[in-house]
Each structure stands twice: as C-alpha cells, then as structure tokens.
Amino acid sequence: MSTQIRNLALAGHAGAGKTTLTEGIAFAAGATTRRGTIQESNTISDYHPDEAFRKHSINTSLVSLTSQNIKLNILDAPGYADFTGEVRAALHVADTALILIDAQHGVESGTVQVWEFCEHDQNSIVFIANKLDHVEADFDRTVEDLKTQFGHEVAVVQFPVNPGDGFNAIVDVMKMKLLRFSSDGNYTEEEIPEASRAKADELHRQLVEIVAESDDNLMEEYFANDGQLEESHFSGGIHESLAHRKLFPVLCASAEKNIGPKRILEFLVTNAPAPEDHLADVKGINPSNKQEVSLNTAPKDATTVFIFKTVSEPHLGDLSFFRVFHGELHSGMDLVNEANGKTERIAQLFVMNGKNRKEVASVACGDIAAAVKLKDTHTNNTLSSRTFPVVLHPIEFPAPVITSAVIAKNKGDEEKMAIGLHSLHEEDPTFLVRQDPELHQTLIEGQGELHLDIAIKRLKERFKVDVEVIEPRIPFRETIKSSADTRYRHKKQSGGAGQFGEVAIKLQPKRRGEGYEFIDAIVGGVVSNKHIPAVDKGIHEFLSHGPLAGYPVVDLAVTLYDGKEHPVDSNENAFKTAGKMAFKEAFLSAKPVLLEPVFDVEIAVPGEHMGDVMGDISSRRGKIMGMDSKNGLEVIRAQVPLAELYHYSTRLRSLTQGRASHKQSFSHYEEAPREFADKVVAESAKHKVAEVE
C-alpha cells in the first residue's frame, strides 16, 4: 500500500467553486501552465460539452497531479443535487473529502448532504471556506455554523486577515505566520500583525488541544508542557487526527483570485491520509461463504479492484474508473468479476487528468486510474484474484426523486430506445429504467429534471433515438366502502348447446392492505364444485382492471352463497361470465372509491424558506407529519399524494434558490378526494371511448 498517494474528493453545495479550486491546485502543482475558467469553458475537469454549455459540473472528473513526490488524485464532483450519485461514487473511493463552502452563505443543504455521505463512508474531512474575496463573505459565521452543526472537532487552521474586496492574506495557525498571496498564487510569510495576534494564539491553542485529545501520549505531553506539543509531534498529530476523523480542519481560499490553493496543496501533501491509513477499514464479502473479510488478510500477491464509475467515450468505448484496493494491477492481468463469475482480461490502463489520458503498464495499490474495453464489468463491480475472491461493499446510490415516462417518437425505435436507456443506466446507476407492466409505460427515474434532460439528450446524440417525455400514469387502486349483494344469470341460446350460469354473491370491504378474498359459501350443491372456481376466475378478470376506472381492485371479500345451474347448458365459461358480471354490478353499487398512492416526503430546508415550502406542500394536498432540526437545517416530514409530486424537485429548488433537498418513498394508499377521483374516472371513460373508436 503506497504512502505516496492522496485520494481526495472535492465536494460541496452547487456554486461553491470546486472546479475553480481544482484549477488552482493543479496550477500550483505545475500540472498546468494556465488556469482555466468556467466562463471560458477551458477547465481541466469540466471538459464535457454539456458542462461547457451549462457552466457547471455534471460528471465527476479525475485530475491526477504530483507535488513533492506525492501523487494526488482529485475527484472533482458536481454540486447540483441532480448528480448526487457522482458525489457518492467519488467519496466511496476517496480517503479524504475536501468540503468546499461558499463563505457568503455558510453551511447549505449540499454541505450537509456531503457530510452525511462522509459519515457513512467514514472519510476524513477538510473544510475549505471559499469566496472570501466577496463583500458578503463572513468567515467567523461560517466557522460557527460548522462547529454548531458538525462538532467541536472542527478547528480553524487558517483565518482571513482582510476578507472582502482586496482579500490577499491569511493567518496560518499551524505555521503561526501570516501568508500574503500574490496574483500568481505564490505567497510570502510574514510575522502575524499585532491586531491578529491574540486571535491567532487562541486558535492555535484550540487546535493543539484538539490534536492532543486524539492521543493519550499527546495528551500527557500537552499537560506536562503547559499546553504545548513538540513541533514534530504536533505535525504528526494533525495527520493522525485527520486520518481518524478526530479533527476537521478549516482552510481559507478565494479560488477565483488564486488565493489559497498553493497552501492548501501543501497542507494536503503533508497531512492528508494515505490509502494505507484507511486499509483496516476496508471490508468485503467472501462470495463463497458470504462472510465479511478485511483486505488486511489478503495475500500480498492478490489484487482487488473496485469500479466506481463508467463513462462511454467516443471512438474508445466504455472507460471504467477504478481504485486498486489491494495489490497491483497490470495490463494483461486476468481478474474475476465476482458479480457474475466471469474473467476479465485487463487491456489498456490510463492515468487520467481530466479529458487527457496517459497509458501506463501498471497501477499501484491505493491508486485511482481507468481501464478500457472491460467486457462484462460495470459500476459497483469488484475484480479480484482467484487466490483471494472478494466483493467490496457497493456504493449506496440515492433513491430517485423524479419519474417520467418516455415514448419513442419514431415507430420501430422501441428496441433502440430500450438498448440506449439500458446503456445509460450502466453508465449512471442513479438513472433508472423500468418497464411498468401495469401502466404499460417505459419509466425513467433520476435525481432531478436536469438529470433526466441530460440522459434524454445523450440518448438522442449517441443512440440516434428521439423520445417524447410525458407525465407517468398514476398506479391508482379501486375498492369499495360498503357491502353489496347481487344475483346475476348468464343465459345464452344460439342453437345447439347453450350457456347457463346463475350466481348470487355478496361483496364486503376489508381493511387496507388485506387484499382480495373469495369465500365459498355454497350449501346443498346448488352450484357444483367444478363450477365454483370458474366464478372466482371470472372475478379475477376485474381484479387487474377494475369496473370503476380500469385500475386494480384491492381489499374486499367476495362470498358466493347461492346460484343455479342447468344439467346441459352449464359449463365453466357460463359461470365465469356470470361471476364476472355479478362482481361488476355489485362493485358499482357498493360505494366504489379510487385509492391513490401517498408518499413519505422528507425535506431539508433553511429556516428562511420553511414557510414557502410548507405552503407549497399544503397546495399539493400534503399533510405535515412532523418537523425537527438537523445539522442547521429544518427537516419537514410530510405525506403527499404521488399525483402531486411530478417535478417536485424542480419546484423545491425554485422556492429555495437551490438550497433545499428532499427524498421520497412510497407510504400507503388512501382514498382520493371525490372531485379528484371523478376527474380520473372521467378521463378513463374518455380513453375507453377513444380505444373503441
């Protein structure tokens, strides 16, 4: 396991400046001779045409550079909630998360979301307060928010001396020097001015205390030396505290003005954990006995590789991004994909720097790179040696928050559409595709309207398929509210043998979720045993296509208690028809109602937008079920009918300037309001007429 690698995921709320900071760090490391800009669409990481057009990140880009003989793999992840899956994947293979914060706004929903992802993956965390050159930047408030929401382990390592217009100097409380930056990103060290000395001393004391608390030996030294640590022990303690999540340092920057990136790079090279610092935490499953194993137990010559991202490149094919978690990976090596048992021959290997790639013969343990032409391997797959079969724990991608239906515009394109959509899902696991047999629609699901828009655009460009995106049908249900009793005789004579079957049935409502029940209450053989199943069979034809509006029927009991049969004309078809028609008559006289799916919705929103969000929920026939606070945001729990949630993610972002997020999941079915149900029934009747015509 190499100590010369740093795997870093740069994440945070949209617009915090992640891509610009990546440019600054790459420039400081000498990986580029000119800093690109978002406006000029010439940055290293935002190289996709969609990103150039939209002026923000859509994909996670890998930027690899070297500084002081240390290789840094920076995964520049998008900030928009539509691309949350990209963030999850980056954090899954990174050891350290660089969480960028816009010092004008402080902690936002995107900040909280990244923090929660880091909690799950146990990433080390470095906070970077950016945009300190803006007039409204408030570093002290930002730090206070971070400490309040994420704990006392948050510690200031740098603070700005002159934030706002003209910002160019920070105090580094590790060095205990003032760093003054020039326009080229370099800095000179000066003594801390008297006006900032007391603040620097206090922040240095707090930092030393947090580092000392992380280790018993350091704590003894701390008390023995009146709150001081030897410089080497202090520096080593920073590294260890950061590696084990006992310290979350706060650094400063104005990425746009190139103030800070050089010192941030130095800090990461010296203090960020190497892959070996987290090796003991890497677990997997032995596919043969399903027992958990640690990579610490793997033989030295065993290789374990995890695929965290797949990209389709023109003229190249699928490019699989991976991290080597154990051993070394060589071109020409054979590994087993434990997801399907197939052997993969490793062909070309590339070190990536944005869109630029350099072919290499091998990839060291702990490193991140890309491979081409893997035949049967996709995102979330583990490739391992036969000597140590293992499946690493997969990325837990977020559940979708938006669903749309798609129809091929050109007849005959259905198969091409299906192939294209499946390929897009393989590339992006948060883009889901399913054929709904009940609704007879192809549904696509994702993290937001923009997410789906980009998928549809790629479908057209790469697979030459035009589709129409429409609102998906709602999977309503039908049931009854009262009992009903009916008798129906089916009699048909058309020369020769006729048809005769008569049944008497009673319908009774059941509690929600209890389903359908058929009760045989025939006494005295008035309907023979061989014909009773035919009655149930006829009723089943309406269970999937109800009499009210054509939706599945649920939660009722049907009792067959009487009937008549003819010695010659009675048969299975006669009683099947009689049962079906009796059920229809009884159902329509038993106060039939339409049930609609209701979803649990959880919304994380800044307090100032809470009123608008709650008002919007009410306008969607939603019910507020509870509220609490979490990580500085208000969390609203509500139940909202699915029919009112189409494109809700877009509306929520509009209401909150993109500062809120939500997740939703099915809860239950409940009776739809009469006026709403009447519209659904009328629309269904209209479709039936159209089909007949």
Tokens of 645: 């949630």
Higher per-residue confidence, 214 vs 366: 366
Residue pair 593/553 in contact (Cβ under 8 Å)? The answer is: no
Q: First and final CA of the chain: distance in angstroms?
A: 71
Compute the C-alpha angle 340/344/349, nearest 5°: 135
How many Å apart are CA 22 and CA 45, to the nearest integer? 8
Per-residue DSSP letters for 576-625? HHHHHHHHHHHHHTS-EEEEEEEEEEEEEE-GGGHHHHHHHHHHTT-EEE
Give percent of the chain with pLDDT exceeding 70.
95
Q: How many CB atoms lie within 10 A of CB 533?
A: 15
Digit-coded pLDDT (tens) for 176-207 = 999 999 989 999 999 999 999 999 999 999 99
Q: How far is CA 645 from CA 113, 404, 406, in A?
A: 22, 11, 18
Residue pair 461/53 in contact (Cβ under 8 Å)? The answer is: no
How many Å apart are CA 541 and CA 521, to the nearest integer? 21
**Region 583-596 average pLDDT:** 97
For all residues of the chain together, what is the average pLDDT?
91
At 485, which helix (H) or strand (E)?
A: strand 484-492
How many Å apart are CA 264 and CA 176, to the nearest integer? 15
Q: Is the pLDDT of residue 156 over 80?
A: yes
**pLDDT for position 47:** 63
**pLDDT for position 690:** 46
Task: Outline where DSSP puts E strands in 103-228.
Answer: 124-130, 154-156, 158-160, 169-172, 177-181, 187-190
Residue with tokens 């960028």: 100
How many Å apart are CA 18 and CA 12, to the nearest integer? 8
**pLDDT for position 497:** 72
Residue pair 655/609 in contact (Cβ under 8 Å)? The answer is: yes
**Region 501-522 average pLDDT:** 96
**Which of the residue ranges 45-49, 81-85, 105-109, 254-258 has the most confident prediction, judged by mean pLDDT?**
254-258
| Size of the chain in residues | 693
Q: At what angle do helices 231-243 and 194-213 cross, to 10 degrees?
A: 60
How many Å apart are CA 303 and CA 298, to the nearest integer? 9
Residue 131, helix vs strand vs coil: coil
Higher per-residue confidence, 208 vs 497: 208
Digit-coded pLDDT (tens) for 10-38 = 999 988 999 999 999 999 998 888 887 76
Q: Is the pLDDT of residue 243 over 50?
A: yes
Q: How far is CA 593 from CA 482, 486, 551, 686, in A?
A: 10, 19, 11, 19
Question: Which residues neighbour 127 within 8 Å (Cβ) at sequence distance 6 or greater?
Answer: 99, 101, 146, 154, 248, 249, 250, 251
Indicate the pLDDT class of residue 693, thresholds 50, 70 and 90.
Answer: very low
Give percent of the chain with pLDDT exceeding 90.
73
**pLDDT for position 660:** 86
Based on the number of CB atoms within 10 Å of its own CB, is 621 exposed (0-12), middle (13-18) or buried (19 or more)? middle
Digit-coded pLDDT (tens) for 361-395 = 999 999 999 999 898 899 999 999 999 999 999 99
Question: Which residues neighbour 161 within 8 Å (Cβ) at sequence distance 6 or greater?
Answer: 169, 170, 171, 178, 193, 196
In Å, the largest CA–CA distance within the chain is 113
**pLDDT for position 55:** 62
Digit-coded pLDDT (tens) for 70-119 = 999 999 998 888 889 999 999 999 999 999 999 999 998 889 889 999 99
**pLDDT for position 492:** 86
Question: Which residues neighbour 408 within 8 Å (Cβ) at sequence distance 6 or greater?
Answer: 414, 416, 417, 465, 466, 467
Per-residue DSSP letters for 622-637? -EEEEEEEETTEEEEE
How many Å apart are CA 533 and CA 517, to the nearest integer? 13
**pLDDT for position 416:** 94
**pLDDT for position 268:** 97
Q: Is the pLDDT of residue 595 over 90?
A: yes
**Full set of structural domains in the chain with CATH:** 5-190+246-278 (3.40.50.300), 282-388 (2.40.30.10), 402-470 (3.30.70.870), 482-590 (3.30.230.10), 595-675 (3.30.70.240)
How many Å apart are CA 390 and CA 336, to the nearest integer? 10
Question: Closest Cα partner for 371 from 386, 341, 351, 400?
Answer: 351
For the ranges 141-145, 366-370, 411-415, 629-633, which has the lowest average pLDDT?
Answer: 629-633
The radius of gyration of the chain's CA atoms, rounded to the nearest angstrom, is: 32
Q: Strand pairing partners for 101?
A: 129
Question: Which residues neighbour 8 within 8 Å (Cβ) at sequence distance 6 or greater?
Answer: 72, 73, 74, 75, 94, 95, 96, 97, 98, 268, 272
Count Cα neighbours of 52 within 13 Å in the Cβ-side half-sphere. Answer: 9
Indicate the pLDDT class of residue 685, thresholds 50, 70 and 90.
Answer: confident
Tokens of 642: 């699915």
Residue pair 531/560 in contact (Cβ under 8 Å)? The answer is: no
Digit-coded pLDDT (tens) for 551-584 = 999 999 999 999 999 888 889 999 999 999 999 9
